[in-house]
Amino acid sequence: MAEEVTYADLKFKTKKQEANGKASPLVSHHWRLVAGSLGILCLALLGVSGALSFKVLQAHQVARRQNENLTQQREMVENLLTTLNVLQDQNLNLSETLQQLSNNGGHRCNPCPERWLQRGESCYFFSNKWNSWEGSKVQCAALDSRLLKIESKEELAFMLESAQVYNIFWIGLFRSRAGGPWLWEDNSTFSSDLFKIPEDGSSNYPICVSIQGGNLIASDCLGYRYCICEKVAARTNPDHN
């Protein structure tokens, strides 16, 4: 009797083990899927992490290069500002030196004042202020000069070349009435050998001469023009101490 029970027990255990043996492959397959998924997820995370690390490294390198460029640019600007300050100081010193030289012993460094044009022993000023002929005389006198007096054909050619084409300038030549003599501002007689004055066909009003481009024009002295002033160039003495 005892042997039958033992056999039955063995038979039951064998069937149970067989049943357990049949379920084991499903469970194992399930865990393999989970493990595989986790592995893939880990690999994906590692890839994303690597990509992010690469991007961060790139951004860091770009920021470092930009900082280096900004530093170089700052240094360049500072160097330029330093050079500018040095040049300004040198320019100031040079201006002071020139001023001292120009005032030294009453001698001028330049024969003509600023904005005056020199030719030979004369200085010429082309005014940019409109005025009548009489008003132009006053303007030139205020500049310690007189209206232009042309005394040679070479001077005439120089004036015609220097006068701006689209501007018109009074010179110091006039006559007080029609048919009267042409005189310069200092009342010296005009020489017709220098140039011909176009007939104005006017009445007894004063007539004055002006230059426009390459032409000489005679017209009413009350008209408004620019003017050309003239004075003797100052003597210079470069050896003066």
CATH number of 117-232: 3.10.100.10
User: How many angstroms separate the CA atoms of 211 and 231, rounded?
Assistant: 18
Q: What is the pLDDT of residues 210-221, one digit of tens each?
A: 998 788 999 999
Element (H, E) at 212: strand 207-212
Position 58 confidence tier, pLDDT thresholds 50, 70, 90: confident
Q: What is the pLDDT of residues 132-187, one digit of tens each?
A: 999 999 999 999 999 999 999 999 999 988 887 778 999 999 998 888 899 999 99
Element (H, E) at 226: strand 226-232
Residue 71 CB neighbour total at 10 angstroms = 10
The answer to whether the pTM exceeds 0.85 is: no
Q: Which structure tokens are listed for 240? A: 């003066």
Q: What is the pLDDT of residues 95-143, one digit of tens each?
A: 655 655 555 444 455 789 989 999 989 999 999 999 999 999 999 999 9
Position 201 confidence tier, pLDDT thresholds 50, 70, 90: low
- 128-148 burial, b at 16+ Cβ within 10 Å, e below that, comes to eeebbbebbbebbeeeebbbb
pLDDT given for residue 106 in this prediction: 45
The residue with greater pLDDT, 87 or 149, is 149
Q: Tell me the mean pLDDT in the region 3-20.
A: 49
Residue ranges per domain, the chain? 1-109, 117-232
Q: Which structure tokens are listed for 198? A: 């176009």
Residue 172 CB neighbour total at 10 angstroms = 25
Picking from 132, 144, 197, 140, the residue whose alpha carbon sits closest to that of residue 168 is 132
